[in-house]
């Protein structure tokens, strides 16, 4: 198994342990965005965001990853609140 498969497996395991379900599309897109984000640091324009450059694509991938992270944090918060409410019953 390659390192990329182990990383995807670790992400899948985290999601299964945290949420009880695994959204395969989210896993694959997050993994792809992470690769794009890392690749953007090696850009001829450096850290100047010029449309269409690897750095621009990396920042767009970062934005998508942040959106997914915020959604997951919100989901964890909702689950925690529901569990607390059930415990009070």
Report pLDDT for 89.
67
Written as one string, the DSSP assignment of 28-57 is HHHHHHHHHHHHTTS-TTTT---TTSHHHH
Residue whose tokens read 């959106």: 67
Report if residue 50 sits inside a domain. Answer: yes
> Which residues constitute the domain of residue 80?
24-88
Report if residue 3 sits inside a domain. Answer: no
Report if residue 18 sits inside a domain. Answer: no
- Count other Cβ atoms within 10 Å, centred on residue 85: 9
Report pLDDT for 50.
86
| Residue 34 to residue 68: CA distance in whole angstroms | 12
Between residues 28 and 79, the one the model is more confident about: 28
Report if residue 65 sits inside a domain. Answer: yes
Report if residue 6 sits inside a domain. Answer: no
Report pLDDT for 57.
93
Q: What is the count of structural domains for the chain?
A: 1
pTM of the entire structure? 0.73
């Amino acid at each position: 198994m390659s390192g990329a498969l182990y990383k995807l497996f670790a992400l899948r395991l985290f999601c299964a342990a945290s949420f009880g379900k695994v959204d395969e599309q989210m896993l694959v897109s997050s993994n792809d965005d992470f690769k794009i984000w890392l690749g953007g640091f090696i850009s001829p324009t450096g850290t100047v965001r010029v449309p269409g450059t690897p750095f621009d694509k990396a920042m767009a991938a970062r934005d998508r990853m942040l959106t997914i992270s915020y959604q997951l944090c919100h989901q964890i918060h909702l689950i925690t609140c529901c569990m607390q409410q059930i415990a009070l019953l």
